[in-house]
Structure 1
């Protein structure tokens, strides 16, 4: 093999190796920043395998409390089937209210969801589509259709 061809081949191989390493690093960075959305029932069932994830549902009425002399607040998020206590140590969004949809990003610690970020919506009739879909699927699993009248099953 002549030296020019050998140099070209080495250059192409080196470019492929560099491209492969760059692709791997980008994929790893993106995977670390992905936070999947789970409902309280899914979290309590153990479906949330990642350390950091998003929790979506409704803020349960009468569940909000703030620690005296600090910004830390506690509230429960429900999907209608299960409730999960959330602790948040920053200022809550102005639109945060009991009975409204909320999406919190954080981690589980000793059975409590410790939120790093909380998002709330302005209209109590609005729920993020992703949360509504997950809550609807959870309820469908529990609803068993009744047999039609007159059936022999």
Structure 2
């Protein structure tokens, strides 16, 4: 009688472990397109990603590079102080988007140009995304407010 209970318990544990493994695999498979890695302009220039890879780029909008085209087309360059990457975006920019301000864009890098599908701008004068802040500090460009 004890061996039947023991066998049943082992079967339940094995089935539960398999179900957990399948669920984890399905979650990972579903999220594969939703994960966007962050890169600084220096990282993009040093190791250009593939043309189909969707990622985020962040830095400061380089002064004097913002060009508004026809309709909603916009061109500018994003920099981290070490490198600069041209960006093209078609759409409505956030209200706080401006030159010398922090931004993060989501898109692809095709033929040396970052084609953004989404642009995010900082939401006040002190906020900057942690990834952008870290990249700017690494390049020696960023100074804490009041240091200056």
Question: What band does the TM-score fall into relative to the shorter chain?
Answer: 0.7 to 0.9
Q: Give the alignment's TM-score, normalised by structure 1.
A: 0.76
Larger Rg: 1
Could you tell me how far 1:96 is from its partner in structure 2?
0.7
SS of residue paired to 1:32: coil
The gaps in structure 1 that reach 5 residues or longer are 141-153
Any residues of structure 2 matched to 1:37-116 within 5 Å, and which?
Answer: 37-46=38-47, 48=49, 51-68=53-70, 70-116=71-117
How many residues are paired up? Answer: 139
Tell me if structure 2 keeps the 8 A contact 1:100–1:123. Answer: no
Contact map agreement 1:86 1:114 (CA 8 A) in 2: yes
Distance between the aligned counterparts of 1:138 and 1:47, measured in 2? 19
How far apart, CA to CA, are the structure 2 residues paired with 1:129 and 1:82? 19
Structure 2: tracts of 5 or more residues without a match: 142-148
Across the aligned residues of Structure 1 and Structure 2, the Cα RMSD in angstroms comes to 2.7
Separation of aligned partners in 2, 1:42 and 1:139: 15
**What residue is the counterpart of 1:127 in the other structure?**
128
1:72-103 superposed Cα distances (whole Å, 9 cap, x missing partner): 21111011111101111111111111110001
**Structure 2 length normalisation: TM-score?**
0.78
